[in-house]
Amino acid sequence: MNNYLEKILQGQAINYEAFLKKLPDALRRRHRELFATVKVGDNRWQVTILDEAAFAALQQQAAAPVSRVDAASKGDSHRHGTEVSFLLVYHQSLTGNRPDSVVIAGDSVDTGFRPAPRVLVVENERNFYHYRQMLDFAGECLGRPTKLTNCDVVLGGGNRITRTADLNWLAGYDEVLCAFDYDAGGLQMFASVRSALGNKACYLQPADWQLWLSRFRKTPDATERFTKAIMLAEDLGFVSLAQAFRATGKFMEQEMILDE
């Protein structure tokens, strides 16, 4: 939205039909009272502002929110990341089966344990619950023992682990092992983690995907998602994973790691 509004102010032509789809319903219904348009090319319109007050209000609403509360006041709290993050963690100091927690509030991090040298981030709750089996899997992928004595285990919970505050906390580890789904979503998450953490980030994969092809069972929701997964795998240097996608035509969810 901000991009469209800036172009209108600068007198640049825009795709007006696409712009209308982003307008709030109330403004879309009366857009002819707010703007005058002249078509200047394929999908391109020159836009003139007719109602300066309404346009200013639209600019204010479209402006990036400064807090979660500000975002909520503009109609969508999800436009701003939460200022507080809670992460569940298994670590060697635990005396029972219940995970510990980390509370991250801005630059403040509240932990009740001493972090291990490395951390295993598990996307799925069921896999996180079976953390010992996931640590064994990590050890098989890396070719070295990976135990709770030298590796904490964190629940990633979908995209939550790609929040800036969470990534800043993970940066304190020497190595960040990522157990995500083997699909477009999982690869995109890892790309975000690697972008922030560089070579500290490691996407866990078996040494030989041929032995795992029978576990690729999830049919992609759309051809675009399948194509994107292949492109991401190749861009990240995971050629054998891209070949596994092509060989099966399917994705592998991380629950299949537990399917022994």
Interval 71-99: pLDDT, tens:
444 444 443 345 688 999 999 999 888 99
Q: For residues 110 and 176, what is the distance between their CA atoms, to the nearest angstrom?
A: 19
Q: How far apart are CA 93 and CA 91, in angstroms?
A: 6
Pinpoint the residues of the chain covered by CATH 3.40.1360.10: 84-258
- In whole angstroms, give the CA distance from residue 199 to residue 175: 8
Range 84-258: architecture per CATH: 3-Layer(aba) Sandwich (3.40)
CB neighbours of 75 closer than 8 A, spacing ≥ 6? 24, 61
pLDDT of 205 strictly over 60: yes
Determine the 3-state secondary structure of 180 from DSSP.
coil
For residues 228 and 65, the model is more confident at 228
Could you give the residue ranges of the DSSP H alpha helices within the chain? Answer: 2-9, 16-22, 25-29, 31-34, 52-62, 68-73, 125-129, 131-142, 164-170, 184-197, 223-235, 239-248
**Encoded tokens for 189:** 């998450």
Give pLDDT tens digits for 187-197: 999 999 999 99
